[in-house]
Amino acid sequence: MRSRTKPPNASDSRTSPSRTSPPPSPSPPPPTGRTADVLVVGGGVIGLVTAWRAARRGLSVTVVDPEPGGGAAQVAAGMLAAVTELHHGEQTLLGLNLASARRYPDFAAELTEASGEDIGYRACGTLAVALDADDRAHLRELHLLQQRSGLRSEWLSGRECRRLEPMLAPGVRGGLRVDGDHQVDPRRLTAALLVACERASVAFTRAWVRELVVVRDRATGVVLTDGTALDAGQTVLAAGSLSGRIAGVPEHVLPPVRPVKGQVLRLTVPERYAPFLNRTVRAVVRGSHVYLVPRLSGELVVGATSEELGWDTTVTAGGVYELLRDAHELVPGITELPLVETRAGLRPGSPDNAPLLGPTALPGLHLATGHYRNGVLLTPVTGDVMAHVLTTGELPDEARPFTPRRFAATAPAASQHLSELPV
């Protein structure tokens, strides 16, 4: 996973002045770069959709990222799983997730129109299955919660599950058919957002941010690691799990986000096995989530671990083993498929698993981070919410519960600056 940090070994190298050098003169003020209405720190899907939507509303926007288009979405499977990933206590988040899921068809069409790129939106539905009595009890509980929340899902016997997905293991004990949980290809989504941003005249500064600039209690832009200052009327921190580690951000507005590692595998379904699966298939095996997301291109994405290991993005033998073992219990034929990629990404986790959207207590500074397991799902609604905020100064009603101010009293101190983190 890439970050927007400056690599530690790329720190400013200072050479001693030679004996013949003139005495050092006072350092000049940092050269000032372009002034934009909006500066977005972070060029992952959340930063890009914010930039695109804001630019479409007439704002001049600059995205700062050493490698725009990177970030967690390069690893994510792209499930739009508002219903199958419902959890107790997350009903408010459910509302936002559903709002974004509903927007996906129009969003995909609009983005395709703007970019000329297909984003792999596939209304294929999802089947969540149980392999043993414990899994079945877990799924029954989820089914009840879905029903209480007014969501549509249908309980199926093991035989009915296998009729839908013949590659499932004979031991499958039952499952939930969720026809409303779809998928998108996050890499295509990112590529389309990059083109759409460029066509909407969003400027890209491929650089590392050194710090946020605050002048008289107002955020006024950032300074890059080469000393260039970029001014902006409004600055948005959309740097995923790194958003809480940017130097210069006052402690009381630092977002309390943390990295949650996810290891993900990519396999290929050869033509002779197609269609291997018709829809996303998932299960909880011995307490761990495993999901298989089949794309029309033949790619099959298998995810994901969930590990609280700080900034570590190592792909481990244990992680790959567990994912393959669990996926194999679900769909035994998976061992025949070529394994083409293993990768780990960092989800930006927040204390309540929900995103932080909109203005902070520091004028001029906004957040669009903390999307945790739902960054790809929440991309359309985040773009709309942030564009509204940046043009009106107000959070729309649907996003009010996600104001960063809900953590104002509990934001932790930053122990490291962005520029000190490993990459």
For ligand GLY, the binding residues (CB under 6 A) are 79, 85, 262, 303-304, 347, 373
Write down how long the chain is.
Answer: 423
**C-beta closer to ligand GLY: residue 221 or 262:** 262
Q: Which is nearer to ligand GLY, 165 or 181 (CB)?
A: 181
Q: How far is the CB of 383 from ligand GLY (least distance, A)?
A: 19
Residue 345 Cβ vs ligand GLY, minimum distance, rounded to whole Å: 9
State the nearest-atom distance from the C-beta of 323 to ligand GLY, in Å: 11
Q: 3-state SS string over the chain?
A: CCCCCCCHHHCCCCCCCCCCCCCCCCCCCCCEEEEEEEEEECCCHHHHHHHHHHHHCCCCEEEECCCCCCCHHHCCCCEECCCCCCCCCCHHHHHHHHHHHHHHHHHHHHHHHHHCCCCCCECCCEEEEECCHHHHHHHHHHHHHHHHCCCCCEEEEHHHHHHHCCCCCCCCCEEEEECCCEECCHHHHHHHHHHHHHHCCCEEECCCEEEEEEECCEEEEEEECCCCEEEEEEEEECCHHHHHHCCCCCHHHCCCCEEEEEEEEEEECCHHHCCCCCCEEEEEECCEEEEEEECCCCEEEEECCCECCCCCCCCCHHHHHHHHHHHHHHCHHHHHCCEEEEEEEEEEECCCCCCEEEECCCCCEEEEECCHHHCCCCHHHHHHHHHHHHHHCCCCHHHHHHCHHHHCCCCCCCCCCHHHCCC
- Closest approach of ligand GLY to the CB of residue 388, in Å: 25
Tokens (6 digits) for 274:
């197609």
Give the residue with the Cβ less far from ligand GLY, 77 or 236.
77
State the nearest-atom distance from the C-beta of 57 to ligand GLY, in Å. 29
Q: State in angstroms the smallest separation of the CB of 420 from ligand GLY.
A: 27
Nearer to ligand GLY, 159 or 286 (CB): 286
Tell the burial category of 165 from Cβ atoms under 10 Å away from its Cβ (0-12, 13-18, 19+). buried
Residue closer to ligand GLY, measured from CB, 1 or 246: 1
Q: Which residue is nearest to ligand GLY (CB)?
A: 373
3 vs 311: CA distance, rounded Å: 10
Structure-derived torsion over alpha carbons of residues 76, 105, 191, 373, reported in degrees to the nearest 10: -20
Six-digit token string for 313:
């993005």
Between residues 36 and 135, which has the closer beta carbon with respect to ligand GLY?
135
CB of 343 to ligand GLY, least distance (A): 13
Nearer to ligand GLY, 39 or 304 (CB): 304
Smallest distance, ligand GLY to C-beta of residue 289, A: 7
Q: Is the CB of 255 or the CB of 303 nearer to ligand GLY? A: 303
- Which residue lies nearer to ligand GLY by CB, 65 or 85? 85
Tell me how far, at minimum, the Cβ of 176 lies from ligand GLY, in Å: 17
For the record, the structure tokens of 179 come out as 């026809």
Q: Select 35 or 288, whichever has its Cβ closest to ligand GLY.
A: 288
Nearest-approach distance from CB 135 to ligand GLY, in angstroms:
18
